[in-house]
């Protein structure tokens, strides 16, 4: 774009210089024929500069010069407008999340927006993208469009869609444009959605199928003891379905409340309430819960129901995966304008390969054990969303066979207010 503008400015300068030389020559020789020739050249020059078509051509040098000056002014204004348009277009393309590359009719790259410049680095994954872009630019023919999907295995893993299209003015090819779009997040969300639907269907189908079989067996059963056992199983499966539905509703509500009500919430009360909710289940497994509350009490800004749900899910998770007659520690510490609520158990631990995925919906390290303990696979996902909604984070430290510590780290009330 700038190259074209420089050529146009150069043409004006050269044409103006020629006009001056011709004018000097005409006055030096001082003949009528030279003056007429000069006048004709000036008119031609004005036309080349984009001047209006003349009904009556100027009949003297002064009028011809005036015409050239007006034409030069219009040309300079047009160049200024074109330059402003080019800058505006470049800035607009730089704001796009997609990478944009433009080639001229000879295949030379004449423009890259900011995203394309970032992409065209020397990293291995991007080198594959550069190669694919260059191949598509070379193979895109007149009036055609090409598209290719690239899987870059990273890290991090990315999916790029490269699209090229030829551009022309109706008479000849002017070049080719390439657009590179990173669709990694879109693909990830599609996979999450598919997995979510599949997991929900599976979680509901299994107990529903069991309920049907148990009810059918119960209809034909005459022994009171057997009927009671079947009824207990039906009650257990119904409770399991209820837990899945309750956790789904909690997760949906927490996700929809990306900015929960901001009111002071005492951490001590959150810990005490969550521990009380899980105490019965802990007693059934012979697991004791020890609370170490902050002293003096501290408060954070947020939603008490969400925070209690997060701490409860961490405690519930620790109780389910602890050995019988063991202890779960729940302690809160304050430092650096942050409150850290740590839940530590000495249970079975989490394998290293699973640590990155445990916060996914319905993901279970040991599916058989989780179902036996009544887990839905949604608890840690709820914790992660609560932490995000409160501008905090959740961390995990675990060693297989030695135990796990989950840390819910949240900003204190004063720190949040100052932010």
What is the reported pLDDT for 43?
Answer: 65
Kindly indicate the confidence band of residue 25, based on its pLDDT and cuts at 50, 70 and 90: low
Q: Which residue has the higher pLDDT, 330 or 167?
A: 330
- pLDDT of 5 above 50: no
What is the reported pLDDT for 340?
Answer: 93
What is the reported pLDDT for 343?
Answer: 93
- CA dihedral angle for residue 357, residue 362, residue 366, residue 367, rounded to 10 degrees: -150
Q: Which residue has the higher pLDDT, 12 or 172?
A: 172
What is the reported pLDDT for 409?
Answer: 93
Q: Which residue has the higher pLDDT, 418 or 97?
A: 97
Tell me what percent of the residues of the chain surpass a pLDDT of 90.
11
- pLDDT of 355 above 90: no
Cβ-in-10-Å burial (0-12, 13-18, 19+) of 354 comes to middle
Q: Residue 304 CB: number of other CB atoms within 10 A?
A: 17
Q: What's the mean pLDDT in 20-28?
A: 51
What is the reported pLDDT for 342?
Answer: 93
What is the reported pLDDT for 56?
Answer: 56
Q: Which residue has the higher pLDDT, 36 or 239?
A: 239
DSSP structure class, residue 343: E
Q: Which residue has the higher pLDDT, 387 or 246?
A: 387
What is the reported pLDDT for 197?
Answer: 74
What number of CA atoms fall less than 13 Å from residue 380's CA on the CB side?
23
Over residues 191-214, the pLDDT tens digits come to 777 777 777 776 677 778 888 888
- CA dihedral angle for residue 198, residue 202, residue 203, residue 209, rounded to 10 degrees: 150
Give dist(CA 408, CA 318) in Å, integer: 14
What is the reported pLDDT for 418?
Answer: 43
Give dist(CA 115, CA 90) in Å, integer: 12
Q: What is the per-residue DSSP string for 47-91?
A: HHTTPPPPSS---SHHHHHHHHHHHHHHHHHHHHHHHHHHHHHHH
- Give the CATH number of domain 258-419; options: 3.30.565.10, 3.40.630.10, 3.40.50.300, 3.40.50.620: 3.30.565.10
What is the reported pLDDT for 379?
Answer: 80
- pLDDT of 99 above 80: yes
- Give the CATH number of domain 96-182; options: 3.30.56.10, 3.30.110.40, 3.30.450.20, 3.10.590.10: 3.30.450.20
Q: Are 378 and 247 in contact (CB under 8 A)?
A: yes
**Domain spans of the chain, in order of start:** 2-91, 96-182, 188-256, 258-419
- pLDDT of 104 above 70: yes
Helical (H) or strand (E) element with 281:
helix 267-284
Over residues 303-350, the pLDDT tens digits come to 888 899 899 989 988 998 888 889 999 999 998 889 999 999 988 888
Q: Are 316 and 297 in contact (CB under 8 A)?
A: no
Non-local (6+) Cβ contacts of 157 within 8 A are: 151, 184
Q: Residue 80 CB: number of other CB atoms within 10 A?
A: 11
Kindly indicate the confidence band of residue 262, based on its pLDDT and cuts at 50, 70 and 90: confident
Give dist(CA 390, CA 173) in Å, integer: 55
- The CATH architecture of the domain made up of 188-256 is Orthogonal Bundle (1.10)
Kindly indicate the confidence band of residue 62, based on its pLDDT and cuts at 50, 70 and 90: low
Q: What per-residue string of b and e applies to 171-189 under the rule 16 or more CB within 10 Å gives b?
A: eeeebbbbbbbbebeebee
What is the reported pLDDT for 34?
Answer: 60
Give dist(CA 305, CA 399) in Å, integer: 31
Q: What's the mean pLDDT in 133-152?
A: 75
């Amino acid at each position: 774009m700038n190259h074209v503008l420089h050529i146009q400015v150069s043409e004006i300068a050269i044409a103006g210089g020629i006009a001056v030389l011709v004018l000097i020559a005409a006055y030096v020789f001082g003949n009528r024929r030279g003056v007429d020739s000069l006048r004709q050249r000036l008119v031609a020059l004005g036309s080349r500069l984009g001047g209006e078509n003349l009904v009556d051509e100027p009949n003297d040098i002064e009028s011809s010069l005036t015409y050239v000056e007006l034409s030069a002014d219009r040309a300079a204004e047009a160049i200024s407008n074109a330059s402003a348009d080019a800058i505006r277009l470049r800035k607009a393309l730089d704001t796009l999340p997609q990478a944009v590359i433009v080639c001229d009719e000879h295949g030379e790259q004449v423009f890259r927006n900011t995203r394309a410049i970032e992409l065209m680095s020397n990293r291995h994954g991007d080198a594959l993208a550069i190669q694919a872009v260059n191949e598509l630019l070379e193979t895109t023919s007149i009036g055609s469009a090409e598209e290719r999907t690239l899987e870059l295995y990273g890290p991090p893993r990315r999916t790029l869609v490269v699209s090229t299209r030829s551009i022309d003015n109706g008479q000849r090819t002017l070049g080719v444009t390439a657009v590179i779009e990173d669709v990694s997040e879109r693909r990830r969300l599609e996979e999450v959605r598919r997995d979510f639907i599949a997991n929900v269907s599976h979680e509901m189908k299994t107990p529903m199928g069991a309920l049907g079989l148990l009810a059918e067996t119960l209809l034909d059963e005459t022994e009171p003891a057997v009927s009671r056992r079947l009824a207990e199983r039906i009650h257990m499966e119904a409770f399991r379905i209820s837990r899945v539905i309750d956790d789904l509703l909690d997760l949906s509500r927490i996700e929809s409340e990306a900015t929960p009500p901001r009111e002071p919430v005492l951490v001590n009360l959150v810990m005490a309430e969550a521990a009380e909710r899980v105490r019965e289940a802990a007693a059934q497994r012979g697991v004791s819960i020890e609370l170490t509350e902050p002293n003096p009490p501290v408060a954070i800004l947020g939603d008490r129901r969400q925070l209690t749900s997060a701490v409860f899910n961490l405690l519930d998770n620790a109780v389910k995966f602890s050995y019988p007659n063991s202890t779960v520690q729940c302690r809160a510490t304050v430092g650096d304008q942050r409150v850290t609520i740590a839940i530590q158990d000495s249970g079975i631990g989490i394998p290293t390969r699973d640590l990155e995925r445990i916060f996914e919906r319905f993901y279970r390290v040991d599916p058989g054990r989780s179902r036996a303990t009544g887990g839905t696979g949604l608890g840690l996902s709820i914790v992660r969303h609560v932490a995000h909604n409160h501008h905090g984070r959740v961390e995990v430290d675990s060693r297989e066979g030695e135990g796990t510590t989950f840390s819910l780290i949240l900003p204190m009330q004063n720190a949040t207010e100052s932010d």
